[in-house]
Chain A
Amino acid sequence: MSPKTLYDKIWDAHVAHEAEDGTSLLYIDRHLVHEVTSPQAFEGLRLAGRKVHAPDKTIAVPDHNVPTTAGRDNPDQMPEDSRIQVAALDTNAREFGVHYYPVSDIRQGIVHIVGPEQGWTLPGMTVVCGDSHTATHGAFGALAHGIGTSEVEHVLATQTLIQKKSKNMKVEITGTLSPGVTAKDIVLTIIGETGTGGGTGYVIEYCGDAIRELSMEGRMTICNMAIEGGARAGLIAPDETTFNYVKGRPHAPKGAQWEAALAWWKTLYSDDDAHFDKVLTIRGEDIAPTVTWGTSPEDALPITANVPAPEDFAGGKVEAAKRALDYMGLTPGMKLTDIEIDTVFIGSCTNGRIEDLRAAADVLKGKKVKDGMRAMVVPGSGLVRAQAEEEGLAEIFTEAGFEWRLAGCSMCLAMNPDQLSEGERCASTSNRNFEGRQGYKGRTHLVSPAMAAAAAVTGKLTDIREL
């Protein structure tokens, strides 16, 4: 048998039908659904008189629109259009009989945090969701990617997707990370290197010692942003870290089924001689705490660098850099550490897990946020929130001057009232710094949770190693 990559193995285990031209029907093990990209899909089913093919494999949770302030189960807290979307999910979830975590449920949260937390996401699975950051689940060695609403309807109706296989890409991070460097810095560095289109057409497998050393939380941060590098999905081969995380979760297999599952999961790695179409290797020691200066995640630089000039680039990127500098209100040549921040957002499916909150709280202990700073922590799920309260993290945040919010997407994309105003500048642990992403004319710098906490204290982008 010819050697296979991890991606090849998962793909092969899920092909329900293959046409002569290679177009395949890929069977989907888990389908996650949220309120923004699903209403038109359920409506389509209803109009065609179709059912959800596998309601037991479908999990719905509202996250994008929901307010993150107290008293939010009162629907009057939401503007009408948000309320209609959340109500539509509520009706659809109940009518079609899928698993559902409404806002009143402590297990509610960002869909990509809830899936792993509840044990819905398991190694070797195919996982899809009408959301590009579905790539997150690849941290478990699951083939996970975002789909559009037409595909959401297709999966609801058939539990399959029409797919063509992507190419294999390997990103290896060797060695060990320096102190102060986190998973977020790794992934920003990778995207800075490949560009936002560098992974287009590929499924990326992240490997190497520095990746192996990461916790599941860190691995999820990396895979979460695979899409920011253009890849269809990101993968990390499952190992003891993965199995320990999964074991005992509400929907993880138990008893004899656990043993059977484990036996298969242990075969999920890329064979020694497996072929990768593209390979990128980065030394862990070369990665510094990293921030973005522009309006694309590829505009990433070590915190010790200066703001670049348009002339530093070539082709269409010259114009894009000019536009980005103008939008961000930055002057070429200025030090990144001289950029003043007025807002800090800690949360999102990239960095809204317990370990992220621990890292931020660690920096904030005994400190206060800079005067006039708006600082907000939005835990990724109700359970993350509860755990952080139990560990005393919530207290550290509130004493430092952070708002302690309820779970949701919040200022990651600002569909709820948590938004930047025109010209406001935010150090954010989220994944996208696009124009207007966090609010009309708002300015976003992507950073790790520790770097976000540091910026909250000093009022500037700050090298965490010097705080």
Chain B
Amino acid sequence: MNKFETFTGIAAPMPLVNIDTDMIIPKQFLKTIKRSGLGVHAFDEMRYDRQGNENPEFVLNLPKYRETSILVAGDNFGCGSSREHAPWALADFGIKVVVSTSFADIFFNNCFKNGMLPIVLPQEQVDLLMSDSERGENARMTVDLEAQEITTSDGDVIKFDVDPFRKHCLLNGLDDIGLTLEKADSIQSFEAKAAQERPWV
């Protein structure tokens, strides 16, 4: 996994609540056996018509949002399925950060596994970032994970919380499996004990 480094990018507003994983990546694109290449299909049904032409009104199709790397989204973003294709598609599109008042649990987890940072903020602060993001390429925000800060184009600084373990993994590009395998002894002794206590499992 790549290390998550401080960056400055364009943020796009997606105020709709309950944006679900079927909207982020419709099922016809789940048939791939690869992780890459899903970016062109992100938000497919909102972004294109049936013939594959771009819908000119969809936010990410507007010229000023083509280079978006931050989404500012409505409540309960990523609800629905466990499909990791959703964060794969967003990451492949170039999204590094999603900001919302809340996220669905599995989607939230999946982001971290793919080097993306979901940020939960109170409504007022999301509103502030939402209106800043409406200014398109004129508003570039900076996200500093180390300092846990978003700086808006006007220089407002918004602090955010992040789980320390996940922060550490993102900053250092650490792979979970490698980390867990370092604890192989604990797993082995758990298995030995469980085999005694619950041999039917």
A interface vs B, CB < 8 Å? 13, 16-17, 19, 21, 23, 25, 27, 29, 36-37, 39-40, 43, 48, 50, 57, 64-65, 81-82, 84-85, 88, 122, 124-125, 130-132, 134, 145-151, 153-154, 157-160, 162, 164, 195-197, 200-201, 230, 232, 253, 257-258, 260-261, 264, 296, 298, 315-317, 319-320, 323, 413-415, 432, 434-437, 440
Residue B140, interface by CB 8 Å: no
Using Cβ atoms and an 8 Å threshold, which residues of chain B touch A160?
180, 187
Mark B173-187 against chain A: 1 for CB-CB distance below 8 A, else 0: 000110111011011
The CA of A258 and the CA of B18, in the complex, are separated in Å by 44
Partner of B17, one of A27, A162, A315, A436: A315
Q: Is the CB of A296 within 8 A of B194?
A: no
> Can you name 5 extra interface pairs (CB under 8 A) apart from A16-B183, A21-B165, A148-B109?
A21-B163, A40-B33, A196-B79, A253-B200, A261-B198
Using Cβ atoms and an 8 Å threshold, which residues of chain A touch B50?
440
Q: Is the CB of B84 within 8 A of A37?
A: yes
Which residue of chain A is the closest to B50 with respect to CB atoms?
Answer: A440
Chain B, interface size category, equals 35 or more
B interface vs A, CB < 8 Å? 15-18, 20, 22-23, 26-28, 30-35, 45, 50, 74-76, 79-84, 87, 102-106, 109-110, 113-114, 163-165, 176-177, 179-181, 183-184, 186-187, 190-191, 194, 198-201
Partner of B31, one of A85, A146, A162, A264: A85
Using Cβ atoms and an 8 Å threshold, which residues of chain B touch A85?
31, 33
Q: Is the CB of B176 within 8 A of A88?
A: no
Using Cβ atoms and an 8 Å threshold, which residues of chain B touch A37?
82-84
The CA of A146 and the CA of B104, in the complex, are separated in Å by 12
Using Cβ atoms and an 8 Å threshold, which residues of chain A touch B113?
148, 150-151
The CA of A324 and the CA of B30, in the complex, are separated in Å by 24
Using Cβ atoms and an 8 Å threshold, which residues of chain A touch B35?
40, 149
Using Cβ atoms and an 8 Å threshold, which residues of chain B touch A146?
81-82, 106
Closest chain-A Cβ to B98's Cβ sits at a distance in Å of 15
The CA of A319 and the CA of B13, in the complex, are separated in Å by 14
Partner of B82, one of A29, A131, A157, A159: A131
